[in-house]
A = this chain, B = another copy of it.
Amino acid sequence: MSTEDSAPRKRPTINDIAAAAGVSKPTVSRVLNGHPDVSAATRHRVQEVAAELGYVPSADARALSTGRHGALGLLMPAFSWWGFNELQYGIAHEAEKRGLRLLVQALHPGDEAEREFVTRTLPTLPVDGLILLMPEGMLRYVGDLARSGRPVVVVDDRGNRPGIPYVETTNRDGVREAVAHLVGEGRRRIGFLAGQMGSAYARARFEGYLDGLREADLPYLPELVSLSEDAPVEPLPEDLDAVLDAEPDAVVAAWDEIAFAVMNAVHARGWRIPEDVAVIGFDDSPLARAVRPSLTTVHQPCREMGEAAVRMLADAIEHGTGPANASVPTRLVIRESTGPITTA
C-alpha cells in the first residue's frame, strides 16, 4: 500500500547521500557528525536527503576509520547473581545514552579457561573499554586486562586492586544507618553476623556496625558478633546459635542470605520477628521482599552502580582519566522484620 519497497534494498551510504544532495562525501560526513564548518544551506539539504533515504551509519566502517569501536565490553562471570539483571540494565542504559554499544562476554571458570581468555579472546574484542563484574578468580589477571591498553572498571571488587578503578556501594555507611535505625526503635543488644570476611565489602560493613554502636554509645559485645573468618558464604550454624544464645534484640546481617538464615534460626527458637528480635540484611535481593516477614535491608543500588561504571569508563576512554573510584549510596528499605521492640 505504501510507497516503500518491501524488498530490503542495500542500505544507503554517504556516497548515495552525496550524489543525491549534489555535494561531496566529506561534506556529508561533516554534516552527519555535526561539524560546525558547513553552510546552513548545505547542512539542511544533506540532512533532508539523509532522512529521505533512511540513512543509517555503518558502525563497522566508522570504527575502522576512527580506530574506536564505540562499544564497551561487560565481562560476566559464570555464576548467577541476583543483581546482575539490574546492573546490566544500568550499564546498557547509560552506554546507550553515550552512544556506546554494549558487548557481553561470558567468563568461564577454571585456570585454563581464564588464561586462554585473557590471551586469546580478550584482545579480539572490538571494545574501547571493559567492565569487569565481580571477577573472583579473574582478579589474578586484572592486571593483564589493564595492560591490554583499554581502560578497565571493576564493579564491586572484593579486595580492591591497586590502580584499577572500581565501583562500590557505601557499605560502611549503609550498615551504620541500619544500626541507627535499630537504635531508634529501642534496640540495645544489636548483633552482627557475617560469613567469610575475605572481601573488602564484608570488612567495610563490619566497620559500619562498629560506627553505629559508637554513634549510639553502645558497648561492643563480642558475644553478639560472629565474623566466621573461614566459613562459607553463610556463617556456620554453631556460630549463628552462639550469637542467638547471647540473646540479641536485633541482628544485622552482612548480607541478605545471612539474614534469611538468622530468620529461620530465630523462628526455630520460637522467637518472634520483629517483636522479640529485629533483623536487618544488606543487598535488598529479590528474596528480601518475598520472605515472611519481609526483610528490612540496606538496598544496594545495582542499576546506579552500572551507570556509574559506564560514566567512569566513558570518561577514561575520552579523556584518559586515571583511577577515580565511585561509591554509590545505599538506601535503607524498611519492611516487616524491624519495628518497635516489644520484649521486656
User: How far does the alpha carbon of A277 sit from the alpha carbon of B26 in the complex, in Å?
Assistant: 74
Is A286 on the interface with B (CB-CB < 8 A)?
yes
Q: What chain B residues lie within 8 Å of A170 (beta carbons)?
A: none
Q: What chain B residues lie within 8 Å of A103 (beta carbons)?
A: 71, 101-104
> Would A105 and B102 count as touching, CB distance under 8 A?
yes
Known contacts A92-B104, A104-B92; is A8 also within 8 Å of B149 by CB? yes
Q: What chain B residues lie within 8 Å of A76 (beta carbons)?
A: 88-89, 92
Per-residue interface assignment for chain A, residues 206 to 230, with 1 indicating a CB less than 8 Å from any chain B CB and 0 otherwise: 0000000000000000000000000
> Would B126 and A82 count as touching, CB distance under 8 A?
no
> Would A290 and B104 count as touching, CB distance under 8 A?
no
Stretch from A61-69, A195-203, A332-340 that touches the partner: A61-69
Within 19-67 of A, Cβ neighbours of B (below 8 Å) are at: 54, 56-61, 63-64
A126 interface neighbour in B101, B106, B287, B291, Cβ under 8 Å = B101
Using C-beta atoms within 8 Å of the partner chain, give the interface range for chain A. Answer: 35 or more
Known contacts A57-B124, A84-B85, A124-B56; is A92 also within 8 Å of B63 by CB? no
Closest to A92 in B: B106
Is A123 on the interface with B (CB-CB < 8 A)?
yes
Known contacts A8-B149, A60-B60, A101-B126; is A86 also within 8 Å of B80 by CB? yes
Is A161 on the interface with B (CB-CB < 8 A)?
no
User: How far does the alpha carbon of A149 sit from the alpha carbon of B11 in the complex, in Å?
Assistant: 11
Q: What chain B residues lie within 8 Å of A124 (beta carbons)?
A: 56-57, 59
Closest to A67 in B: B60
Number of copies: 2
Within 267-313 of A, Cβ neighbours of B (below 8 Å) are at: 286-287, 290-292
Is A344 on the interface with B (CB-CB < 8 A)?
no
Q: What chain B residues lie within 8 Å of A8 (beta carbons)?
A: 147-149
Is A181 on the interface with B (CB-CB < 8 A)?
no
Is A315 on the interface with B (CB-CB < 8 A)?
no
Query: Main SS of chain A's interface residues?
Result: mixed
Known contacts A59-B124, A60-B64; is A104 also within 8 Å of B102 by CB? yes
> Would A69 and B60 count as touching, CB distance under 8 A?
yes
Known contacts A59-B126, A80-B86, A286-B287; is A92 also within 8 Å of B105 by CB? yes
Q: What chain B residues lie within 8 Å of A125 (beta carbons)?
A: 59, 101
Closest to A148 in B: B8
Q: What chain B residues lie within 8 Å of A147 (beta carbons)?
A: 6, 8
Q: What chain B residues lie within 8 Å of A286 (beta carbons)?
A: 80, 82, 286-287
Within 69-102 of A, Cβ neighbours of B (below 8 Å) are at: 69, 71, 74, 76, 78, 80-82, 84-86, 88-89, 92-93, 96, 101-102
Nearest 5 Cβ contacts at the A-B interface? A92-B106, A60-B63, A8-B149, A59-B126, A56-B123
15 examples of A-B residue contacts, CB within 8 angstroms: A56-B123, A56-B124, A59-B125, A60-B63, A60-B69, A64-B64, A71-B103, A76-B89, A82-B286, A84-B84, A92-B105, A101-B103, A101-B125, A102-B103, A264-B292
Besides the contacts A60-B63, A101-B126, A286-B286, what 16 more A-B pairs have beta carbons closer than 8 Å?
A11-B123, A54-B123, A59-B124, A60-B64, A60-B69, A64-B64, A71-B103, A80-B86, A84-B84, A85-B85, A89-B106, A93-B106, A96-B106, A101-B103, A102-B104, A103-B103
